Chains A and B, each alone.
Chain A
């Protein structure tokens, strides 16, 4: 085919490409960015297949396929995706091998593809381990990549947490250095909500303080692997006894990272459970912790005023409120009734059913209405102990809200109104506290206990993957390098090591390949030994002589060994020029040559 005869894309292909690009633009309102860009690539790969006629076309489509493998990792880097992409890598390589050797059997092509990838694997491993790492995820994701992340919010209205609790997604995993605290003491502190508009609680603007570790209490040290949630919050058992790296603490005891958590983050933390009473509190904060909107929830406000009038201290009001909830026969449900304009009144005196946000909201309202400073704390409660790796997995379904009340001389005291009304929620977890298990996430239902072992195994494997593969960050790389004697290795040292190791590997591969060239294969070796034996008897092989002619001439020259010489010739030709030299055939040839006795 001459240059001016080159096949041009057909009008159909061009037309479809134009229509598809228009469609992508109408769908995304742009042709750039992760989503539209990848959709266009997939489409073009399909169109390329349509016009594939020659090996060159097929090779181009295969290389486009290699690129598409990478694009999948822009969405998820989970084990199933990695396994699927490895399978695709193998089949694409086998396709290219098949294009290069169309006459060979498919099994041989598959073997070659596997061998090629096996040769590349050590280099890939060295690149993974030694390529200088940058802080944060390897792939810079566009902004739209964070849109779908779930997690706690900076506000809480009736229904927020109960809808979050229907998600089985992992919020974080916590690995304790020793014994983990019991389920009922695992309160993972998140956003603290101060301001109430009659329906919704919101955080106050973050104000940071100098970290002062709490005194007393039981200490726990642990590592957290936090899933990305696009917020700067870090979670720790209350109260944090140390600050994780690159974090700060707010006035209300919440941990903040320096930037929103958009990639899986591992940090070390320690906490004190039941610490000694805290110090006093700033008067402005206490004023804020008593503030309520006017004319909101009048029945609850009247009840709180009665308690205030009948009580001699804030602690007594607190006890009255707990007793009120405990004896109120409230129902804990993930599907609470809709509430009206005065949601606290509706919950306390009408519907009498709710999730933890209803209990904590109503409790803090009652406290404030009685003049006791109080605030809502959101976070997670509990978490499941994985039976395989003994790591505690905290899910979105563990989302919880509780209260903190300020008592003179004791500081901020944690009170869990949900635990007062429904003790099972905190002692044994959400699954056993909810009366209707159908509303729970699938894997939380008690009837599916048998599936939990399989899930534990899978999550333990995923944790190893997350920590050692996806979480292989500069710190881990530094730790690994210090194990091999490279302390504080910077990017220059890593790059030099990388190229040195790759160079050594290339040299080793080169030496091995040359060795194969210099050292003939077993069939050739046996044939050469045969030729040497005949040459010693004066029948040397001429350079132009093929095996058949040479064997015939030698047989004529040495009639006593005629049959043996001819048989060796036939066996060599069969092995050398046949489809596949079999191992027994090679052994037989060697034995025949070794056994040849020339008179």
Chain B
């Protein structure tokens, strides 16, 4: 039995656009900002390097 082919418009197939990615990143930055002030400095450096 062959695996079902997902619909081309299913969430797992649709590529996320630059606009949505920017909104998501901004939202997560808002959420993580207070934690960033408390987190160890090396973790922030690591996160910034990864994003860079």
Interface residues of A (CB under 8 A from B): 1-4, 16, 19-20, 23-24, 27, 35, 38-39, 42-43, 45-47, 49-50, 52-59, 61-62, 65, 68-69, 71-72, 75-76, 81, 84-85, 87-88, 91-92, 94-95, 98-99, 102, 106
In the bound complex, how far is the Cα of B16 from the Cα of A57, in angstroms?
9
Q: Are B12 and A1 in contact (CB under 8 A)?
A: yes
In the bound complex, how far is the Cα of B30 from the Cα of A81, in angstroms?
11
- List of A residues within 8 angstroms of B20 by Cβ: 55, 58, 95, 98-99, 102
**Chain A binding surface, main DSSP class:** helix
- List of A residues within 8 angstroms of B46 by Cβ: 16, 19-20, 23, 43
Q: Are B13 and A1 in contact (CB under 8 A)?
A: yes
Q: Are B34 and A81 in contact (CB under 8 A)?
A: yes
- In the A-B complex, list the 3 residue pairs whose CB atoms are closest, starting with the nearest: A56-B11, A91-B27, A88-B30
Task: State which residues 1-52 of B face A: CB under 8 Å.
Answer: 3, 5-6, 10-17, 19-21, 23-28, 30-36, 38-40, 42-43, 46-47, 50-51
In the bound complex, how far is the Cα of B47 from the Cα of A39, in angstroms?
11
One of A47, A71, A87 near B35 (C-beta < 8 A) = A71
With A84-B30, A98-B20 as known contacts, state yes or no: A20 contacts B35, CB within 8 Å. Answer: no
Q: Are B12 and A56 in contact (CB under 8 A)?
A: yes
Most chain A beta-carbon contacts within 10 A, residue among B16, B39, B50: B16
In the bound complex, how far is the Cα of B31 from the Cα of A94, in angstroms?
14
Q: Are B19 and A91 in contact (CB under 8 A)?
A: no
- List of A residues within 8 angstroms of B15 by Cβ: 53-55
- List of B residues within 8 angstroms of A72 by Cβ: 31, 34-35
Q: Are A88 and B31 in contact (CB under 8 A)?
A: yes
In the bound complex, how far is the Cα of B25 from the Cα of A58, in angstroms?
10
Q: Are A43 and B43 in contact (CB under 8 A)?
A: yes
Q: Are B24 and A42 in contact (CB under 8 A)?
A: no
- List of A residues within 8 angstroms of B26 by Cβ: 91
> Can you list 16 A-B contacts (CB < 8 A)?
A20-B43, A20-B46, A23-B43, A35-B38, A39-B39, A42-B35, A52-B16, A54-B12, A55-B15, A56-B12, A72-B34, A84-B34, A88-B30, A92-B31, A99-B16, A102-B17
Least CB distance from A38 to B in Å reads 6
Q: Are B32 and A95 in contact (CB under 8 A)?
A: no
Least CB distance from A271 to B in Å reads 39
Most chain B beta-carbon contacts within 10 A, residue among A42, A62, A72: A42
Q: Are B39 and A42 in contact (CB under 8 A)?
A: yes
Q: Are A61 and B35 in contact (CB under 8 A)?
A: no
Contacts A46-B51, A95-B20 aside, 13 further interface pairs with beta carbons under 8 A come to: A23-B43, A39-B39, A39-B43, A42-B32, A42-B47, A46-B28, A46-B32, A46-B50, A49-B25, A49-B51, A52-B24, A102-B20, A106-B19
With A65-B28, A94-B23 as known contacts, state yes or no: A47 contacts B11, CB within 8 Å. Answer: no
Q: Are B23 and A98 in contact (CB under 8 A)?
A: yes
One of B16, B43, B47, B51 near A55 (C-beta < 8 A) = B16
Q: Are B24 and A39 in contact (CB under 8 A)?
A: no
- List of B residues within 8 angstroms of A68 by Cβ: 28, 31-32, 35
With A45-B32, A65-B31, A92-B27 as known contacts, state yes or no: A58 contacts B21, CB within 8 Å. Answer: yes
In the bound complex, how far is the Cα of B40 from the Cα of A59, in angstroms?
28
- List of B residues within 8 angstroms of A91 by Cβ: 23, 26-27, 30
Least CB distance from A113 to B in Å reads 10
- List of B residues within 8 angstroms of A84 by Cβ: 30, 33-34
In the bound complex, how far is the Cα of B31 from the Cα of A38, in angstroms?
12
- List of B residues within 8 angstroms of A95 by Cβ: 20, 23-24, 27
Q: Are A69 and B34 in contact (CB under 8 A)?
A: no
Name the CB-closest residue of B to A85: B31
Least CB distance from B27 to A in Å reads 4
One of A58, A92, A106 near B16 (C-beta < 8 A) = A58
Name the CB-closest residue of A to B33: A84
In the bound complex, how far is the Cα of B35 from the Cα of A85, in angstroms?
12
Least CB distance from A420 to B in Å reads 45
Least CB distance from A322 to B in Å reads 49
- List of A residues within 8 angstroms of B39 by Cβ: 39, 42
